[in-house]
Structure 1
């Protein structure tokens, strides 16, 4: 299957998207499955991983409900309150849904850079591991050192770093990010999403601006642990769905990398999707 491993849907009236304000004119409207379907068909994408965009369990239930209505949604990455002592119980309950494949706290928005190393988070991560759910790590470069410590403490936890940890491409801050990302090279339980790079680049980005960062992701994770995702519709701030897809396809062709793995196979195996 060809899988888009990272996309979102939202309804403004649900009113729990704290980051989604009218100033984001491109994004401040509803995005529903029927809006994405033509793009999936154009690029022969068989299904998607639908990822949370609001830090509420109501969001998770909303996404799971959508997954029951649309066959194209192969898996859902939801949210639970990691700081709540009842978070493991929430995970037990949510994990009974066949489409729930992972959980994602919005670490990039948490002020305390050491939050992920707290005992409460550790307990919740243990529950994720026990129920064979993926930990989607929405982190920035400054979180990578702590993320490595977290993973060292949870060796059985399957982790997917979102958006390559959002390197600052606009200011060409490649070297420290590359050094910190390299710490995950020999960790087979850690994968990385090739997504979200366009919104970290300049508005007039060209493929050559992204390629050093894509080079690094493949150097560290190899073609066996990289999952392509569109980050649609957030990506619309910087790119069309087609432009990003074509950019990655061209890169894979030029570097003789497996399109079958990057455009789907790795997502199927990482999230244990049903074919």
Structure 2
């Protein structure tokens, strides 16, 4: 099974995508499975995981409703207010849906870089572990320290770093990021998504620009903890689905077939329980 572990779907008229503005012309429109299915067919992708793009429970419910009518969507990563008094009630309600897999707070947009360390989040993290749910970490390089500290508190947590923590590929200043990634990979059971790199590459979204980061992720996490994701349609800001899928195939070309198959889908299937 080949799996796209990370894509989005949205309907702008829903009104809760605060970050999605008309200046992002390439993606400022609705994106549905009718748009994605032909791209998946061309790339040989069997199943997908759709991930939240708005910090609302309503959008998670929209994604769950969409997934219920789409066999290709095998899992949904949603959003809850982790500090709300009813956070656990909301989490348990969403988890009743058979395709709900876990949550993703939009950490990159939170002003407090130490937010992950707040004690008020402890009950939800503990609940994720107890219920076998996942945590997608939408972080930037500066959040890797707090993420490591949080992971140490919950060694049973199933968590994955989205987009390799968005290294600064546009400037090439990735040495500190490389050290932090290596440390979190070595000291925790964290997984990582091979996704989102092209949109961090500035005016040169090429294989050469992203290769150092992609190869570092593969070396640190290995095929058992690294999974392919497209980040479509955000990907369209820098490239297109076919081109990104082709780049990943080039990056995996020297791996044994069984290891490449893990990155293409087996690791995502195992992590999300698809």
TM range (shorter): over 0.9
Deviations 1:140-159 (A, max 9, x none): 00000000000000111100
Q: Is the 8 A contact 1:84 1:120 kept in 2?
A: no
- The answer for the alignment partner of 1:73 in structure 2 is 73
212 and 255 in structure 1: CA distance in 2 versus 1, 3 angstrom threshold: farther
- The answer for the alignment partner of 1:189 in structure 2 is 189
- Residue 32 of structure 1 and its aligned partner are, at CA, apart by 0.4
Distance 1:166 1:178 in 2: 11
Task: Say if 2:251 is the partner of 1:244.
Answer: no
Distance 1:208 1:197 in 2: 12
1:186-265 alignment runs, 5 A limit: 186-187=186-187, 189-256=189-256, 258-265=259-266
- The answer for the alignment partner of 1:268 in structure 2 is 269
- The answer for the alignment partner of 1:4 in structure 2 is 4
Moved more, 255-264 or 201-210: 255-264
- Residue 188 of structure 1 and its aligned partner are, at CA, apart by 5.7
Distance 1:259 1:35 in 2: 27
Q: TM-score, normalised by structure 2?
A: 0.97
- The answer for the alignment partner of 1:58 in structure 2 is 58
- Residue 263 of structure 1 and its aligned partner are, at CA, apart by 0.8
What secondary structure, in the 3-state scheme, does the structure 2 residue paired with 1:192 have? Answer: strand
Q: Is the 8 A contact 1:85 1:120 kept in 2?
A: no
- Residue 240 of structure 1 and its aligned partner are, at CA, apart by 0.7
- Residue 187 of structure 1 and its aligned partner are, at CA, apart by 4.5
Structure 1: which 4+ aligned runs deviate by more than 3 Å?
Answer: 254-257
- Residue 241 of structure 1 and its aligned partner are, at CA, apart by 0.4
- Residue 204 of structure 1 and its aligned partner are, at CA, apart by 2.6
Distance 2:188 2:245 in 1: 26
- Residue 62 of structure 1 and its aligned partner are, at CA, apart by 0.3
Task: Say if 2:96 is the partner of 1:96.
Answer: yes
**Structure 2 residue ranges without an equivalent (≥5):** none
